[in-house]
Structure 1
Amino acid sequence: MGDTEWRREEPMSPAARLMDDIDIYVITTFGLDTPINLPVFLSGMDSALAQHPRYSCIQVSDKGLWARTTTVNVEDHIIIPTLDPSAVATDSEKVVEDYVASLSALPMPRSRPLWDFHLLNFPTSEAASTVVFRVHHSIGDGMSLMASLMTTTRLVAAATATSPATPTPVRPPTRRTGAIYEMPRPQLSAGALAFAAWVWSYFVLAWNTAVDLAFVLATIMFLSDPNTMFKRVKNKDESFHRKRFVHRSLSLDDVKCIKNVMNCSVNDVLVGVTSAAMSQYYFRKSGDPNTGEICLRSIIPVSMRPATTLQKYVNVIESDKKDDVIWGNQLGYIILPFHLTKHDDPLAYVRKAKKDLDRKKRSLEVIITNKIAEILMIFLGVKAGALIFRRGFAHTSMVFSNMVGPTEQVELFGHPVAFVAPSVYGIPEALIVHYQSYRRTIKVILSMDDNKFPDYRQLLDDFAKSLMTMKQAASRLSTSTKTD
């Protein structure tokens, strides 16, 4: 972009500088219900996506600054690859999968904003065409990127009407629990017992927080998960691990059925499904006769924004008050145990997940890790912060995340969206598990070292089978309870 005009420079946040140093990218696959109309797609990009401030910036890493340009040539960010027609005709899903995997080894030019779109204009079993959106993680976390996505989409029904576009609806988030500023206040008329319980809840909060932070520090320093097939093994001869991104659609109604029967959250169910699927895969692959519990740990990034922020961000962005939006990464982290074990009752995985997550809700781990990360970056610098970050991931086994998406079908630059499958690469983990809801389905997306899981389709099958067996067990439990 030699004719670019630079308008002003802004300081990068500590989190953005960390993401830039480690070089982490978010990569999202959109399945579309129609073939790609290139002029319509370009027009939509030009009028929507490029107007967001972070999508018009490049990183000046040595100065820790964003340099913002007044113009973005969207055609510089469009890639239409030339692929083998015979391979596309034989197995179009494999062609898409291989191409997306190749992007994890394809660098972006640092001379322009770090995002691009890859257009694969041929049908697969799930979509008429595929768009792959790749963006540097320093531009934003899942919440801010999802908010920017919401401003570039419209309801399909509204798009075909003559009335103005209807804002994309987002499933209302559940209220956060466990944080100290949301703990219940004692009623004066409730008596001494209620007051004692309230005081005790603060003691539990302080104790859990201290224990969690001790484990975080130990993990950074020396505490490492056992070596299993899920843990990344450092290879001195290989500095980069190419990633493969695969996904499977699950029924959101099935997840909610289990949630209702077990009186838990959707996240509890998803953690339980993940633990069950990984257990099945591990014991089948390893042939380990010891079916005792193996405790692994996952790092879970958690948005620090208020739970109602997503729709608020969308409204603010669409009202042209972009300067009121806090862009970038606002993340804290928790370390959550995952258990490899065999249970006769499939719902035992959900019960264990609920117990672990409820325990984490009575801790300030996510808040304090966010603040500590910022302080370390300010006083020790980016390189030291990146080293600490990498050690934390190197000593754990996986990353787990879950995002809530639109409840109704939306369109992307004039094209109805069939599915959304986001993931990341650049994080030093062999396995990343991400869930993304959209309409009445929920995608499980796996980002994995390309050479570590050659039979990854079996692992995807284990996720689907685990959910199905849990749904059947929940249905039997519900029927039994009604009969009793």
Structure 2
Amino acid sequence: MASPGTFSDEPLSPAGRLFLQPKTELVMHCIARTKNPIDIDAAKATVMASLMGQHPRFCSLLVRDDNGSEHWRRTQLDIDRHVIVFNNRLDKSGRFIDETETQAFSFNEEEEEMAVNQYVADLSVSSPLSTDKPLWELHLLMAHKCVVFRIHHALGDGISMMSMLMATCRRASDENALPLMVPEKTGESKGKRRRRFWFWFWLLGALWEFLKMAWFTLVYVMGFSLRVCLVCDRKTVISGGDGVELWPRKMVTAKFLLQDMKTVKKAIPNTTINDVLFGVVSSGLSRYLDHRTPNALREGLRMTGVAMVNLRSKPGLQEISKLMEDNSEARWGNRFGVILLPVFYDKAGNDPLKCLKRAKTMVDRKKSSLEAYFSYRIGDLVMRLLGSKYACLLNYRLLCNTTFTISNLIGPLEEITLSGNPISSIKVTTSSLPQAITMHMLSYAGRAEMQILVAKDIIPDPEFLAKCFEDALLEMKVAAIGGK
């Protein structure tokens, strides 16, 4: 690789500059548990030989010129500075313990997960990435057979991160093949074929769709602007606020079967997995609030979520090999917009699918609008005209005025390996935000695991919150089967 100075500096993108501001600085974490002990040398060699070890963003330092403008500067990658090895075990509080203490602890699978989750929860608050090396790290928790990728959000968004990480892995069924992220043969959905049919052959239908898009875009963009400037969710026992991103965190995992989500999905025509997830979150939060503050909230109380939407021309994870091409449709970097997804407090009733029906209606309207696109363009415009400090202020206010953040990524369809070592689970999360709760779901080989990161002084019992989400899906599944 070329030595420093061979390449000219490249300025950061507007989104990259935003994620370097103190109140909006984010680090993405990907937790991969392996079935066999980790081979350190093999892991290093795999990373260096993959796109991660060659991509310009992963081989560049963050530098600032005399005017304070940020740039990427290519440098020699020293893999030993990025791979950090921990040999000692963690206890359930995320603290490393001496070998002499290990015998005093019993470690079952659940406690192993608790220990790793708390380790990452602590990283999400108190451990920024050092700027004297490219902004990523690989933590190897040897005693737990766990790999934690830490990647600064200035390098790229969740789609970019997952694509890059998957470039480092291979299919368990074929060590020469990249992970399968979407079915190899996909057809258009009936809904999409129907929309195209009406577009081309029924101009009246096209006009109606256009009018719906214009109306919903106007309504939601105005609502988005008001949410940034003036409107705030009513305070509840799960509300965060200014400064909460610095509070101690705790993280738990809610576990779902994709087949259960697909069963629920079939109960209502044209429903998606995202609709089901949003319905589960809506129902689960209502259950949790009933537990914490029984009979204290009015029916229909609104709690607003912030959701990320991929704006690339191709949905889902992109073709990994094309991420390094400048003219690729895949587009490396931060290419996402934001939409606001309201959920409403609903006391337990006779229809477990009520939250799903309401979620689907809302998400369908959001899909008919250009809210995500406008949020991206507005943020980009503010960044270019007023600078990163004002863009940071607006984004921070949006987070303070809402209740939670949620994202969902499609992971590998089948089991994968890292350096030939089978991976048993993959989970993702980010640094803490001023909201008291953030949720990030990733599917893998028939399962879906949602990392729930909470401010533990506000939500002291996140394990119960995770169970509320799991129970909500199971109740919906029973209702879906019973309704057939």
TM range (shorter): 0.7 to 0.9
Contact 2:84-2:138 within 8 A present in 1 as well? yes
Contact 1:177-1:361 within 8 A present in 2 as well? no
Change (3 A) 1:152 1:174: farther
Contact 1:139-1:328 within 8 A present in 2 as well? yes
Contact 1:58-1:66 within 8 A present in 2 as well? yes
Counterpart of 2:16 in structure 1 is 16
Contact 1:25-1:134 within 8 A present in 2 as well? yes
Counterpart of 2:461 in structure 1 is 455
Deviations, residues 399-435 of structure 1 (Å, cap 9, x unaligned): 1111001101111233211111101114322111111
Deviations, residues 213-233 of structure 1 (Å, cap 9, x unaligned): 111111111100010122203
Residue type of the alignment partner of 1:208: F
What are the within-5 Å matches in structure 2 for residues 392-431 of structure 1? 392-431=398-437
Q: 2:357 aligns with which of 339, 351, 357?
A: 351
1:175: Cα distance to partner? 6.7
What are the within-5 Å matches in structure 2 for residues 121-136 of structure 1? 121-123=142-144, 129-136=145-152
Contact 1:232-1:430 within 8 A present in 2 as well? yes
Determine the C-alpha separation between the residues in 2 that align with 1:348 and 1:299. 21
Counterpart of 1:110 in structure 2 is 131
Does residue 307 of the first structure (1) align with residue 318 of the second (2)? no
Contact 2:251-2:452 within 8 A present in 1 as well? yes
Counterpart of 1:222 in structure 2 is 230
Q: 1:139 aligns with which of 117, 134, 155?
A: 155
1:453: Cα distance to partner? 1.7
Change (3 A) 1:322 1:369: closer
Structure 1 residue ranges (4+ consecutive) displaced by more than 6 angstroms after TM superposition: 173-179
Does residue 156 of the first structure (1) align with residue 172 of the second (2)? yes
Determine the C-alpha separation between the residues in 2 that align with 1:89 and 1:109. 35
Contact 2:286-2:346 within 8 A present in 1 as well? yes
Determine the C-alpha separation between the residues in 2 that align with 1:381 and 1:354. 37
Counterpart of 2:61 in structure 1 is 58
Contact 2:416-2:422 within 8 A present in 1 as well? yes
Deviations, residues 169-206 of structure 1 (Å, cap 9, x unaligned): 11258979999xx8765456xxxxx5334323222211
1:131: Cα distance to partner? 1.1
Determine the C-alpha separation between the residues in 2 that align with 1:41 and 1:89. 28
Counterpart of 2:290 in structure 1 is 283
Q: 1:232 aligns with which of 240, 263, 272?
A: 240
1:79: Cα distance to partner? 1.8
Aligned-pair identity in percent equals 28
Does residue 202 of the first structure (1) align with residue 202 of the second (2)? no
Counterpart of 2:344 in structure 1 is 339
1:455: Cα distance to partner? 0.8
Residue type of the alignment partner of 2:294: G
1:322: Cα distance to partner? 6.9
What are the within-5 Å matches in structure 2 for residues 148-187 of structure 1? 148-159=164-175, 165-172=176-183, 186-187=199-200
Range 300-309 or range 132-141, more displaced: 300-309
What are the within-5 Å matches in structure 2 for residues 4-83 of structure 1? 7-21=7-21, 22-48=24-50, 49-61=52-64, 62-69=68-75, 71-81=76-86, 82=88, 83=96
Contact 1:6-1:67 within 8 A present in 2 as well? no
Determine the C-alpha separation between the residues in 1 that align with 2:180 and 2:6. 36
The root-mean-square deviation of aligned C-alpha atoms, in Å, is 2.4
Determine the C-alpha separation between the residues in 1 that align with 2:342 and 2:196. 25
Change (3 A) 1:46 1:290: closer
Which structure 1 residue ranges, 5 or more long, are not aligned?
124-128, 160-164, 189-193, 479-484
Change (3 A) 1:177 1:328: farther
1:112: Cα distance to partner? 0.6
Range 220-229 or range 200-209, more displaced: 200-209
Change (3 A) 1:174 1:345: farther
Change (3 A) 1:297 1:321: closer
Q: 1:384 aligns with which of 386, 390, 401?
A: 390
Contact 1:44-1:414 within 8 A present in 2 as well? no
Deviations, residues 237-261 of structure 1 (Å, cap 9, x unaligned): x772233332132100000011112
Determine the C-alpha separation between the residues in 2 that align with 1:225 and 1:256. 32
Determine the C-alpha separation between the residues in 1 that align with 2:155 and 2:190. 29
Change (3 A) 1:321 1:328: closer
Change (3 A) 1:176 1:435: farther
Counterpart of 1:126 in structure 2 is none
Does residue 94 of the first structure (1) align with residue 94 of the second (2)? no
Determine the C-alpha separation between the residues in 2 that align with 1:381 and 1:175. 42
Contact 1:41-1:414 within 8 A present in 2 as well? no
Residue type of the alignment partner of 1:336: L
Change (3 A) 1:186 1:301: closer
Counterpart of 1:260 in structure 2 is 266
Determine the C-alpha separation between the residues in 1 that align with 2:367 and 2:191. 5
Contact 1:144-1:328 within 8 A present in 2 as well? yes
Determine the C-alpha separation between the residues in 1 that align with 2:327 and 2:268. 43
Counterpart of 2:93 in structure 1 is none
Change (3 A) 1:303 1:323: same
Which structure 2 residue ranges, 5 or more long, are not aligned?
89-95
Q: Normalization by structure 1: what TM-score?
A: 0.88
Q: Normalization by structure 2: what TM-score?
A: 0.88
Counterpart of 2:256 in structure 1 is 250
Range 4-13 or range 112-121, more displaced: 4-13
Deviations, residues 52-108 of structure 1 (Å, cap 9, x unaligned): 221112222522211122x21111012223421436645433332332222121122
Range 197-206 or range 365-374, more displaced: 197-206
Residue type of the alignment partner of 1:27: H
Contact 1:175-1:307 within 8 A present in 2 as well? no
